[in-house]
Amino acid sequence: MAINLGDSAHEAAWRKEVRKFIDAEVPAALKSPSEGDGEGGLFARFGAMKEWREKVAAKGWIAPSWPKKYGGADMSVVDQFVMNEEFAEAGVPGNIGGFGVMMIGPTIIEHGTEDQKQEHLTKILKGEVIWCQGYSEPGAGSDLASLQTRAVRDGDDYVINGQKIWTTGAQFADMMYMLVRTDPDAPKHRGITYLLVDMHHPGVTVRPLTTLAGTQTFNEVFFEDVRVPVRNRIGEENRGWYVGTTTLDFERSSIGTAVGVRKQLEGLIRQGKQGTVASFDRNPAVKREFVDRWIECEVAKMLSYRVVSMQVRGLIPNYEASMCKLFSSELGQRIANLSMHLYGMHGNVRNRASMGYMQAVSSTIAGGTTEVQKGIIATRGLGLPRG
């Protein structure tokens, strides 16, 4: 069966509208960063980010698939895909809402009460509240259902004790959506409850973790007798696992990642042609690696197209989304390796290549490890028995 990868008339017109908006409205400081921006460039452009957020929010595009009554644009899967692709192609921030838009917002829309929607959704879109995710624990990462952080019901509150780890941005967050164990005697996928926790409550302690690259992206978070109102529970008590794994309204095509790795590769090609510190002339054999990486970038894009084509047909991608995540994250690491090969001995200096190389290490851990993704692909995609 022939596959048409071109735009329909509607999609072409919509793509043109998105491009026109980007050209006219994106602040100059947020256009594709120069090679010298380095670490922390985004924070230096904080004012421009605020301006960009306001412009995107005014269009309803921060959470485009959300219903209009909650500040979205009632956008279709394809329209959202095209918008994400164009934002990525232009090199401008697309995921402005962070975890609030990507994760907890859709979860509240699907499982929350009307009071919870009114309390949280508008604040998410306005950027008034920063969210973080409390899932992983020191003994429950890949096997998340083994989590042991306890929440004990005490009247109108839950009292939480335990620890979370690898919590991205916890030191900046105002709220955490987290999974806690409320019934220790139930099978591990049961007895789990989904709570919303104020990070400023007494008893919450955040300790940043320093990564290989010297950054403090992740954190440990400790809970000591932290009281959370029962009204902050999403869904039923002891049924939080099913809330936490909801897939509705999530953007899962990874087109931004697929385009992003190709843009990264294009940047390396420019550096190689300029022939300063990183030069094709100094290391001509590295050109062959660029060919392989370029082909792989196209494969990553096709995997993303496959996911969005399923969503258009009303299907929920499962192992197909895992294939996107696995391939794109490993490709990002291969491109980081390529960067070091291009720079040669200069890659041993703390520069763009070495920083990217160290930061890429976590890409096959965050968002579900390579082993987890392979397990999903093997069992659900290939029908192999569980080990």
Q: H-helix or E-strand containing 151?
A: strand 150-154
Whose CA is closest to 111, among 251, 252, 232?
A: 232
Whose CA is closest to 368, among 328, 315, 311?
A: 328
| Sequence-distant (≥ 6) Cβ neighbours of residue 367 within 8 angstroms | 325, 329
SS3 312: helix
Q: Which residue has the tokens 């590769």?
A: 265
Determine the straight-line distance between the first and last CA of the chain, rounded to whole angstroms. Answer: 36
Distance between CA 68 and CA 78 in Å, rounded? 17
Catalytic residue chosen out of the listed positions 251, 296, 320, 330: 251
Q: Are 362 and 168 in contact (CB under 8 A)?
A: no
**Residue 148 backbone phi and psi in degrees, to 5:** -125, 0
The interaxial angle of helices 319-343 and 286-312, nearest 10 deg, is 160
Tokens matching residue 89: 């192609």
Nearest 5 degrees, angle CA 154-CA 119-CA 368?
75
Q: Any catalytic annotation for residue 251?
A: yes
* Other CB atoms within 10 Å distance of the CB of residue 229: 14
Q: Which residue has the tokens 């806690």?
A: 180
* Other CB atoms within 10 Å distance of the CB of residue 187: 8
| Sequence-distant (≥ 6) Cβ neighbours of residue 249 within 8 angstroms | 65, 66, 106, 109, 110
Q: Which residues pair with 151 in a beta bridge?
A: 160
Known catalytic residues are 251
